[in-house]
């Protein structure tokens, strides 16, 4: 049993991340009561059927009334709306956090709306899959995955320590970062790979008409690894692109330059340059395996349930 405990945790948004939190909170006994709120009746009804919480409401302001921890798990473009809805009902001293994949924009949307007597600590668990909704969540999602907190200057260290313990009890490893630094790092490790995947799968799907299903038939040659990323939730990823625009554009422009150089190596038959690059990239994967962020299994560990960090 963990030594961190809340009387009431309110979960606003109960999709992949929110429902994974509900499951792990229950399993680890991190709260006496879990209150669940979401936008649609259908999702709320499903959360109730799955028994994810102790009480359920479509009214997010009602949900947060007695909560000492509020976790907002909605697409980043909706963070400001949620903050406006809950601001007037928050309990003084409550910790308010989020799980959004971008941090600068979430802070800009939420901070001005929230009262000064709550502890707003933005966060981002680097754990996810390509599935969404309350059925997609599972209690082990956060195990051994990083969770990055991006606290603002002047935040109460006790509140940060309590939220840190909460995520550790969920299985995460914790790091803190400046929000803008977070957004640049995530642009390269998560946002750019997703954009590349969306792009290559889009191109292949255009070509598919020409090649008469050969793209799908022979997908194991490499293509299918992109299709998993490209199957990620369209709403979430539209919002990520719109809300981390500057960092994504910066990384895209570096990527385009490097791609042009790779193109040149292929055109001029520069085998040494190709070999050097491919040797360097192979070492990067080795480093990821050594850091425990991927399994050292052939076929990308496909036999086990896939997890991605977003
Ligand atoms: P999800 O499975 O699609 O669930 C989204 C939840 O947000 C649903 O409960 C949905 O409600 C609610 N919602 C959607 N639009 C809303 C709006 N305009 N106002 C209020 N509520 C709204 O999404 P998720 O994967 O859990 O992602 C949630 C957050 O976690 C996002 O900010 C994402 O960037 C971040 N994140 C995702 C991953 C990942 O891999 N998926 C990883 C780390 C962080 P209804 O169903 O009732 O409409």
Q: What is the CATH number of the domain that holds 229?
A: 1.10.3660.10
Range of the domain at 80: 6-177
User: Could you tell me if the CB of 236 is within 6 A of ligand 1?
Assistant: yes
By the 8 A CB rule, do 36 and 55 touch? yes
Per residue in 246-288, pLDDT (tens digit) is 999 999 999 999 999 999 999 999 999 999 999 999 999 999 9
104 & 237 share domain:
no
Whether residue 18 has its Cβ less than 6 Å from ligand 1: yes
Are both 62 and 197 inside the same structural domain?
A: no
288 CA from centroid of ligand 1 (Å): 27
List pLDDT tens digits, range 103-116.
999 999 999 999 99
What percent of the chain lies above the pLDDT cut of 70? Answer: 94
- Could you give the number of structural domains in the chain? 2
Distance CA(247)–CA(191), nearest Å, equals 9
What order do you get walking across the sheet with 119-121 strand by strand? 55-57, 31-37, 6-12, 69-72, 95-98, 119-121
Q: Is 72 in the pocket of ligand 1 (CB under 6 A)?
A: no
CB distance 38 to ligand 1 below 6 Å:
yes
pLDDT at 294: 84
pLDDT greater than 70 at residue 300: no
- What does the pLDDT average to over 119-128? 97
Give pLDDT tens digits for 50-82. Answer: 999 999 999 999 999 999 999 999 999 999 999
> Are 143 and 82 contained in the same domain?
yes
> Does 13 share its domain with 150?
yes
The residue whose CA has the least distance to atom 1 of ligand 1 is 15
Do 114 and 221 reside in the same domain of the chain?
Answer: no
> Is residue 20 lining ligand 1, measured as CB closer than 6 Å?
no
pLDDT tens for 206-225 read: 887 667 678 888 888 888 89
Q: Rounded to 10 degrees, what is the CA torsion of 56, 62, 67, 73?
A: 70
196: nearest Cα among 168, 174, 223, 157 = 223
Confidence grade of residue 306 (pLDDT, cut at 50, 70, 90): very low
- Do 128 and 85 reside in the same domain of the chain? yes
Instruction: Note whether 14 and 133 are within 8 A (CB).
Output: no
Last residue of a domain, one of 177, 207, 225: 177
The reported pTM is: 0.94
Q: Per residue, what are the HEC states of 238-252?
A: HHHHHHCHHHHHHHH
Q: Report if residue 246 sits inside a domain.
A: yes
27 and 159 in one domain? Answer: yes
What's 173's domain CATH number? 3.40.50.720
Asked whether residue 45 is assigned to any structural domain, the reply reads yes
Residues 94 and 167 in one domain: yes
d(C-alpha 240, C-alpha 248), whole Å: 9
Among candidates 129, 122, 17, 35, which has minimal Cα distance to 73?
17
Final residue belonging to a domain, choices 177, 209, 232: 177
Atom of ligand 1 nearest to the CA of 310: 42
CA of 228 to the centre of ligand 1 (A): 18
Residue 281 lies in a domain: no
188 and 111 in one domain? no
- 171 with 36, same domain: the answer is yes
Q: Residue with the nearest Cα to atom 31 of ligand 1?
A: 75
Whether 199 is covered by a domain: the verdict is: yes
286 inside domain: no
264 CA distance to ligand 1 middle (Å): 41
pLDDT score at 301: 58
Q: Specify whether 243 is located in the same domain as 135.
A: no
* Ligand 1 contacts CB of residue 212 (under 6 A): no
95 lies in the same domain as 135: yes
């Amino acid at each position: 049993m963990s030594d961190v405990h809340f009387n009431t945790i309110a979960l606003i948004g109960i999709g992949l991340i929110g429902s994974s939190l509900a499951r792990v909170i229950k399993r680890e006994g991190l709260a006496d009561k879990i209150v669940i709120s979401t936008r649609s009746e259908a999702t709320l009804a499903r959360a109730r059927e799955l028994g994810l919480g102790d009480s359920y409401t479509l009214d997010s302001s009602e949900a947060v009334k007695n909560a000492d921890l509020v976790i907002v798990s909605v697409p980043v473009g909706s963070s400001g709306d949620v903050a406006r809805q809950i601001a007037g009902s928050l309990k003084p001293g409550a910790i308010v956090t989020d799980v959004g994949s971008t941090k600068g924009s979430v802070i800009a949307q939420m901070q001005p709306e929230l009262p000064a007597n709550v502890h707003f600590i933005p966060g981002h668990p680097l754990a996810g899959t390509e599935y969404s909704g309350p059925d997609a969540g599972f209690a082990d999602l956060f195990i051994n995955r990083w969770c990055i907190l991006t606290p603002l200057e002047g935040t109460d260290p006790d509140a940060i320590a309590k939220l840190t313990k909460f995520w550790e009890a969920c299985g995460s490893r914790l790091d803190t970062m400046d929000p803008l630094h977070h957004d640049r790092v995530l642009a390269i490790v998560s946002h750019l790979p997703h954009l590349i995947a969306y792009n290559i799968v889009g191109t292949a799907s255009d070509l598919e008409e020409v090649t008469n299903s050969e793209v799908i038939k022979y997908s194991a040659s490499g293509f299918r690894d992109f299709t998993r990323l490209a199957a990620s939730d369209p709403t979430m990823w539209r919002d990520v692109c719109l809300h981390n625009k500057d960092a994504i554009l910066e990384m895209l422009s570096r990527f385009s330059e490097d791609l042009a150089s790779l193109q040149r190596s292929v055109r001029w038959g520069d085998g040494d340059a190709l070999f050097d690059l491919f040797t360097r990239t192979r070492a990067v994967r080795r480093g990821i395996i050594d850091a425990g962020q991927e399994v050292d299994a052939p076929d990308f560990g496909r036999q086990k349930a896939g997890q991605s960090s977003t």
